[in-house]
Amino acid sequence: MRRPSWFVSVAVATLLSHAVLSGVRTLISYRVLALGGDGVDVGVITAVFAILPLVVALRIGRAVDRGLAVPALRLGLGLTVVAVLLAAMSSNLAILGVASATLGLAQMLHTVACQSMVALWSPPDRMDGRFGHLTLSVSAGQLLGFPIAGLVATLTTHGSGVVSTGPALFVMGAIAAAAVPLAFVFAPGDTKRVSQSDAVDGQQSTFRLLATPGMKPAMYSSLTVLTAMDLLMAYLPVLGQTMGLSVATVTALLTGRTVTSVISRAAMPILLRRIPRRWLLVSATLVSGVPMALIPFTSAVVPLMLAMLLMGFFWGVGQPLTMSWVTLIADSRNRAAALSVRLAGNRIGQVTVPIAAGALSGLIGVGAIFHASGLLLISSGLLTLTATVNMRPDSG
């Protein structure tokens, strides 16, 4: 019996794992509130998700550059199951924090492995397309994860004012378990392994990787989009409770954001043929920053949904383009490491921004989080505009 191709398996595993990730991270915010926490606690536990991955990101990338992508993928998918079940059974904020940290490590392992497989096992002319399809799987997973988690939470919550999260987390755990076999069935690409001593000869330091032209603006663009997505997932439930929005409404808003990300990623080949890459990269942050900053000014569902749809479309464009940009400007022996540095930059944002957001929430209200995130997105768009002035339309 012919085994499935590595890319099909990776794409499906990505879809399932990101369905779990998106659903669980929203449920964790509600669980923090159910356990007696507040906006500050939501910020801390959201930041904890990123701390452990930040410490080990480059080590994971170095290991993957030496041919260990498949073991990293398997470990990441397995740890996802452990993290979700731990969150489902958590009885206090400390255990929930451990679950969040474990989920962050699992997601880092899985993400570095999958992105590096595309970078290392794809011919250059197929890289943009495969990164687009990989991020399309991410968006499709989010499209499934939000409504499944929200539906189960809504059906199992009964008028106490506290959202029930346990049953929904167990459902997410079952979906996570379904992804694990996919890491064992595919026919891999290049599986040549390099010893640690041999790999040292071609390694570039973190500072040298960061000095690569285009690396820092690409990282900042990716960081601002990812942290905005995280803050939206973590704090829209908190803002929604202050505005009187139901769990179902918040779920619908987050799902709407994901729908347009799916659309933009599916349309990526058409967009790249018609619009210069530079303007797609700039618009990913510049255009999305304005609606993000305006979210707290209304509780009306229609304008909120329009904001979600607009942000989702442009966020969907940015991430795959920064992945291929980083991959193509990096030295061929350091591509996984470069992707890991990009992800580490994302994690720095995921640590510092939620903590700052939690402090803002405690001091001047949750709405300030959305204003600040919107300003970061706009600043990123302006930086990308100046950094890509000489970018060729077809350049990475």
Q: What share of the chain is helix, strand, coil (3-state, %, to 5)?
A: 80, 0, 15
Residue 63 pLDDT greater than 60, yes or no: yes
- Say yes or no: domain 1-185 is CATH 2.60.40.4070: no
Which range of 14-28, 59-73, 352-366, 379-393 scores highest in mean pLDDT? It is: 14-28
Measured CA to CA in angstroms, residue 51 lies from 344, 347, 355 at distances of 10, 7, 11
Q: What percent of the chain has pLDDT over 70?
A: 89
pLDDT for position 396: 44
Residue 177 pLDDT greater than 70, yes or no: yes
303-331 confidence digits (pLDDT tens): 999 999 999 999 988 888 887 777 777 76
Residue 383 pLDDT greater than 70, yes or no: yes
CA angle 220, 223, 227 (to 5 degrees): 145
Residue 176 pLDDT greater than 70, yes or no: yes
Computed over every residue of the chain, the mean pLDDT equals 83
Residue 211 pLDDT greater than 90, yes or no: no
> Which residues pair with residue 5 across a beta bridge?
187
* Banded model confidence at residue 377, pLDDT cuts 50, 70, 90: very high
pLDDT for position 346: 75
Query: What is the rounded distance in angstroms from the CA atom of residue 150 to the CA atom of residue 167?
Result: 11
Q: Which amino acid is at 358?
A: G
* Banded model confidence at residue 192, pLDDT cuts 50, 70, 90: low
Query: What is the rounded distance in angstroms from the CA atom of residue 83 to the CA atom of residue 86?
Result: 5
> Which residues pair with residue 187 across a beta bridge?
5
Q: Which two tokens stand for residue 184?
A: 């064992």
Are 237 and 26 in contact by the 8 Å Cβ rule? The answer is yes
Mean pLDDT of 211-229: 82
**DSSP for 188-204, written as a single string:** -S------HHHHHTTPP
Q: Domain coordinates of the chain in residue numbers?
A: 1-185, 206-389
CATH C-level class of 206-389: mainly alpha
pLDDT for position 80: 97
CB atoms inside a 10 Å sphere around CB 45: 26
Mean pLDDT of 35-52: 83
Residue 193 pLDDT greater than 50, yes or no: no
For residues 16 and 344, which has the higher predicted lDDT (pLDDT)? 16
**Angle between helix 93-121 and 69-88 (nearest 10):** 160
Q: For the whole model, what pTM was predicted?
A: 0.72
Mean pLDDT of 227-240: 86
Q: Which helix (H) or strand (E) holds 85?
A: helix 69-88
Residue 201 pLDDT greater than 60, yes or no: no
Residue 90 pLDDT greater than 80, yes or no: yes
Least confident of 33-42, 105-114, 197-206, 302-311: 197-206
